[in-house]
Amino acid sequence: MKFLRAPPQLCYPSTPHTKFFNHRLNATFFNPISRHPLASTTPCRLFHQPATPHSSLRHHTQEQITSPSSSEMRKNETLICVPIMGDSLDTMKIDINKAKLAGADLVEIRLDSLKTFNPSQDLNTLIKDRILPLLITYRPKWEGGMYEGDDNERLDVLRLAMELGADYIDVELQVADQFFDSIRGKTLNKTKVIVSSHNYQRTPLVEDLGNLVARIQATGADIVKIATTAVEITDVARMFQIMAHSQVPFIGLVMGDRGLISRILCAKFGGYLTFGTLESGVVSAPGQPTIKDLLDLYNIRQVGPDTKVYGIIGKPVGHSKSPILFNEAFKSVSFDGVYVFLLVDDLANFLRTYSSTDFVGFSVTIPHKEAAVKCCDEVDPVAKSIGAVNCVIRRPTDGKLIGYNTDYVGAISAIEDRLRDRHNGDGTAVSPLAGKVFVVIGAGGAGKALAYGAKEKGARVVIANRTYDRARELADVIGGDAIALADLDNYHPEDGMILANTTSIGMQPKVDETPISKHALKSYSLVFDAVYTPKMTRLLKEAEESGATIVTGLEMFLGQAYGQFENFTGTPAPKQLFKKIMENY
């Protein structure tokens, strides 16, 4: 997806409910995601909220809960809102306290989650005794909520929340005109009105999103909120484009696992707020992270306009420990970067879409390592020989993508070190793999890396794969032998062999699976498993019980991460820090 022109929907005449100011655009401006120039534009009027006594609420909100010193450290003004979805008022009060302790800027009170609700009494209690700013939401079922009653009664409750002094209320676009008509001419508190639209099927085109912003702003909204659904991760780029160009307070979030980056990088592109839950899985919309992850894992307070974006590309990807490792390392060395999960279906489309120099580097995992070779403009000779890339860097001088492979060094070094430890280190320069039968399970990207590395060290490599033809193809490339995975249990040319599993067999959640039977493991002196979630797979447990030395995937993970960190930052990896970080996980 390439954005070729400025979305024309950002230029509109005045409306009865909307104040605006003249804003001249440059003759050319750029899509902040792809950095492709957008078409020339003429001066136009962009919707914008004028300064009002309450227009600095975001700054006021932060001052209420942060000290001056901590406030100064923030690189963005994006607020963190915790949804409160208790089924009773007492439960909500407990959760509001938890949210404050967790570092929330405000809470969203989901009235539709209450089993019993006395509007005047309960709202008065919540608003009068609030310890954090409140966003009052009463979401109907037709917009993804739980309220199934009369809409007029629901809107009466939201008006009451305004009268009682709620900081924000959320009104759905479908009933926004009706709501604003009902309060016209009334003197109310300085409540900010968020007008929201939710799309649980897809993310519209840029032009349609822009038109939606205009419709919402035209109602008289103080803050525009649009939540869509990501069918692919590239859908999120359209939301970022609207967000980066918005001249109104804008909440733009993309739901689902593929939309997770919208909830983090909105802090980079100027989003008004993002949502973080108190507990994992207890969400008010699909794909919400926890507030702990926003603050501790992603360091969202330190994400600013100049922050560079890195991430782990894969499918699946949620099991990866890379975001933990790299974000903690970035924080420790004061490197202005954020590392995110990137659930990618089509690698080429992803790299084309997120092609700006803000998206600097990517780790690549299953199943994209081989495809990454074709997607890069240049490939390191070793990675080209292996036929797999696990690290992609965008060169700052010309934006070209450079592919590397750090898998083979991490895994082979870990295996060699363990073999030397087993023999008390013979002190020779010859690799302990020389002359050994080295069986690689899997013929994908990681399998190619291990096979290449073992062959370089003088091992006799055998490829075992579910599809024999793929095993044979890789074996022919590196000069080794091939067998079908089904025959591996009966493969026993000699004792003291090395076994390396490079497939996802045994990875969470299928932890009871193993690629080889326990009785066959007696032929191996060392067993390595690239899977590191869990750290001790069934394969490794049974190998250890059979007397083999084991090497965990975590050791390979650390080894390959050292090289990636150096590629990402241009500085040596803090190896001891990396080990310390991973000891806690």
Point out the residues that are catalytic.
198, 225, 369, 407
Neighbours of 177 (CB within 10 A): 16
Find tokens 């929340």 and name the residue: 161
- Residue 31 near residue 238 (C-beta atoms within 8 A): no
Helix-helix angle 322-332:553-569, to 10 degrees: 50
- Amino acid of residue 494: E
CA distance 31 to 6: 8
Q: Are 415 and 451 in contact (CB under 8 A)?
A: no
Q: Quick count: other Cβ atoms within 10 Å of Cβ 173?
A: 19
Q: Beta-strand (E) ranges in 50-153? A: 79-84, 106-110, 134-137
In this structure, what DSSP letter does residue 293 have?
I
- Give SS3 for 342: strand
227 has which bridge partners?
198, 253
Instruction: Give which of 283, 278, 286, 280 is closest to 260, Cα–Cα.
Output: 286
Angle at CA of residue 468, ends 462 and 472, nearest 5°: 55
| Residue 490 DSSP code | G
All residues at 6 or more sequence positions from 397 whose CB lies less than 8 Å from its CB, including other chains:
none
Contact yes or no for 437/462 (Cβ under 8 A): yes
Give the bridge partners for 313, in sequence order: 342, 364
Q: Are 277 and 283 in contact (CB under 8 A)?
A: yes
Evaluate whether 260 touches 84 at the Cβ level (below 8 Å): no
